[in-house]
Amino acid sequence: MSSVGHEIPKEMARVRELIPLYESVPMGFIAAAMMRAALDEAAVALASGDIIGIIRSYETLKGFKE
């Protein structure tokens, strides 16, 4: 079983791949902006070692669907 610390970079990469898909549809720029904000929050949480922030960010990132 993997830890959130190992899984969040995978989720971040997955969401980065979704951004161009959302930007290609009408009004998708709104969701793309939300994804970018969530990625920024995840990066800050990882850099600071904020475990609660990492878990929260991981759950947020998992919520973005293709």
Give the tens place of pLDDT for each residue, 20-37.
Answer: 999 999 999 999 999 999
What pLDDT sits at residue 1? 58
Position 41 scores a pLDDT of 98
- End-to-end CA, the chain: 25
- CA angle, residues 42, 40, 55, in degrees to nearest 5: 15
Q: What pLDDT does 5 receive?
A: 85
Reported for 41-50, long-range contacts at CB under 8 A and 24+ positions apart, including other chains, are 42/8, 42/11, 42/12, 43/12, 46/8
Give the residue extent of every domain in the chain: 4-62
CB 23 within 8 A of CB 32: yes
Per-residue pLDDT of the chain (66 residues; tens, 9 = 90+): 579 989 999 999 999 999 999 999 999 999 999 999 999 999 999 999 999 999 999 999 999 998
Answer yes or no: are the C-beta atoms of 58 and 14 closer than 8 Å.
Answer: no
- pTM comes to 0.91
